[in-house]
Structures are given as structure tokens and as C-alpha cells.
Structure 1
Amino acid sequence: MNYPKFRKSAELFGVICGGLLISMPAIPQVVAQESTPKINPCPRIFYEEPHNNQVVVPQGCPPNALTQRLAAQGLLPVPATPSQEQTNLGVGGETPQPGIRLPGPASGDQTQQSSPGAVSTEQPPRQTPSATIALANGTVNIKLVNDTATNVTFQVIGDTAPRSLAGKSDVTLQGLKAPVTVTFEREDGGQLIVTPQASSEPGNLNVTFNEATNAAQGRSAMRVEPNGSVFLN
């Protein structure tokens, strides 16, 4: 007499199990999609000291203090506006929250902008070259000579990471494609007098570092143009 009830219970149990089996494959897919990491092209370290004033950010990232300063001086291409995906990622990989701004230039920087990624439309006056060399098939070898008593940190933008050059030593950077920008800084915080001089051999440039006695003499970047003009800043 209990057979009808047993049969209905068995049918109900079968329906429930069938529904679970159908819905289970969708769960791992959702988890897999949510766990896929996104690579942040503009990590927070680019905007923290000392990198904020020593490392140029990649194209497409909001410019940090050094990138904006060099771009305003004509030593770098104008920084590109970040893509929508990079804007959504934000600096450090976080999604920007209301009221939070991405880092801009330092407060004392003359190129300070009102919003991240904004670039001044003013063109800096053209400088007189500090030296002129004959390139070799569009490339240049740069010999850095550190005549100071302290280490000098230098970087070939877009080519090398920051490197250290000991006092009273030299290093030669070979086969650099023009245009090329090199930045340099005394590790003790002092100023540098930078003297570029064309070598007797085509495509070779000698650059000597000496200690500066005041800030007005100090230089922190050099750019070699495709026509062989060498500019300091």
C-alpha cells in the first residue's frame, strides 16, 4: 500500500539529482573566469620614490614625474594617453575608486597637470646642441667617464635598467639606435657637470662627468638625435 508514495519520492529524488548534474559544469567555468589574473602594465612602483624620479614608464602608462619632465624638455616622445583597459586596471592593479587620483608630477614640477595622463600642449624652446657627431648607420657608441669621487647611476631609456658607474671609472654603451636618451644622477645627491665630446671615429661620443659646485651647472639627461645633435638638460 506504500508503493505509490515510494514511487513519487523516487521520482522527486531523480528530478533533484538531474538538476544538480546539469548545473554543476557551469560552476567551475565561473571560478576559472574569475581567477584569471590580469597583467598590470603600470605597476605602482613606477610612481613611488626613487623610481618616480629615476625610471621612465612604458608607453601608455600615466606619466610619472621623470617621464613628464623629460617629455616637456623634448627628450622623450609625448606620453600616450592610457588605454581604457589600463585605466580600468589603475596603478598597482586596483580599480580606481571615486575621489582617488593616479599619481601626477611632483608639486614643484613646472609641468604639473590637472589630471593624470594630461600633457602640456606648450612646446619647449629648441636648444642649441651641446655637441654634434656623425652617426654610424644611425647608431652611436657612448663612452661614459666618471671623473667624480662618487658613484653615478645612469640609464639608457627603453634599453637598460638603471646601472651604477663607480667613481674614477668608465663604461662604453655600444650600438645605441638614435634617437636615444640617457639619464644620470649622482648617488650622493650632488650635481653633475656633463661634457659631451665627439670622438675622432664616426659614431663615437665621449661623455665626462665632473662634480658641479652649484645646482645651475647640474645636468641629469642627454639625448642624441638622428641627425647627430646632442642635447643636455
Structure 2
Amino acid sequence: MNRNAKKIRKYVGLFSAICGGLLISTPAISQKAVAQQPTSKINPCPSIYYEEPHNNRILVPRGCPPNAITQKLALQGLLPPPTTPTTPTPDQRRLGVGGELLNSDSLAINPCPGIYYEEPFNNQNVVPEGCPPNALTQQLLGQGIDPSRAIPARPPVTVIQPPLPEEQQPPSTKIALANGMVNIRLVNDTGTGITYEVVGDTPPRSLAGKSDTILRDLTAPVTLTFFRGDGGLLEAIPQPSEETGMMEVRLNETTDIQQDKNTVRIQEDGTVFLN
């Protein structure tokens, strides 16, 4: 009996030693396995660069496929030439998207944009200091002139003329001229006097109410102006006559400002406009 008890105690001790060794070695194995796992890498070109609103607001890091704003600035010559791919800066990683376009100090703007070397700027504007000279800068240097003191040439200014009356409205009527000339019978159907003038042919004249006058031998183009002495509104009605080179203009009182007219123009082809 004593011999069996001793054998049992021997086996129990051996089993305990084996289990204890396993418990001690397990953490070490786990730590070693964790240490052997590869560390994760940061994606330098996250997809958020290509999603709105970042797609049109934020430049991608160098080496990444260009998004919309990067392509746009590159086409305008506002970005420096591409270099070897780089990872995002610490500020870009902190912001998660690379930093705002207008506020990031890490974004380099090309100081010598290509527009300085395209017409008309190539021959009109001096390039910034430190940039390769364009045509104008080379010309000034050749003349011994300091480009920084030169005044950039301004492009010619095109004067925009307002459209003529005939381009703004349809003609009121048309008459047959007599060798390029016309006679106008001006009829004042109002009860008050008016003042009229053929621009370039007659001085201002008066025409009493309920009266008329004939203006003869006027060479087209003709501009006839008129207004009421009391400041009232006038309606002008041009009526071609059966007689060649004759036109009647009747002036009536009106209260409709849309009908108020003070000028009759007869073009060289006999077209008549009211204004």
C-alpha cells in the first residue's frame, strides 16, 4: 500500500510540473507571435480625396492619382512639375484629408505659371522675379531695362457701342425716297404748342397747337425731334404719302407713357423708326 501511494504522489508531482511549464510559456509565445505580425501601413492616397467636396477642394499628395482640383490647377500651370511620390505630411495625416487647399502651408503653388509664356501675356506681362524670362522680359533685358521697373502693357480696350434703335425694335413704317430726299408734313393735333428740330438741318422751332408745317428737301438719314411745351406726353403717328418722298407725322396727346415718343428717324433706305 505504501509503495502505491508513493507512485501516485510521484505521478501527481510530474503532472503539476508539466502544467506549470505550459502556463509560464504561453504568454511568451503570444508576445512573440504578436511581435512577428506585420505593422499596418497608412494609405497615402485615401479615397476621400476623390469624393465630394474634397474632390474639388483639396490637392492630393504628390504621387497620388490627380483628383479634379489637382487636374484643374495642373492644366492652368499653377502646380510645380511632379516629383517622386511622397507620403502625406504630419499635418495632412492629422486632418485626415490632407489639409484645405487655401490654408495648408504644405501645398506649393508654382511661382512661374505657364500663362506667363502664352499669348497675349507672353508679350505683355513681365514674369515674376526668379522665373525664366518670357518674350517681353527678354526684350527688356536686351534693351538694358530692369524688368521689375517696367510697367506691364495693357491689352487694347474694346469700346462696346450700345445697339442702334433699328437693332432694338422693328421699323414703324417705310417710305419711298425721292433721290435720297424726303419732305415731312408735321401736324400738331394737340391743344398746346410743341418745339421741333431736324437735327443738323434746322434750329429748334415752335409749332402752335392745331397747326402744321412742311419740312422740305431733307436728305436721308433724317432725325426729327419734338416735345410739348407743357411737358405732356406725345404720340407720334408717321404716315407715308402717295406722293414719292413725302411723309406725314401727326402728333397727338396721350396719357400712356408706353406711347410717348419724341423722335422720328428716317434711314437712307426709307425705313422709319420711332423713339
Normalising by structure 2, report the TM-score.
0.41
Normalising by structure 1, report the TM-score.
0.48
Q: Which has the higher helix share?
A: 2
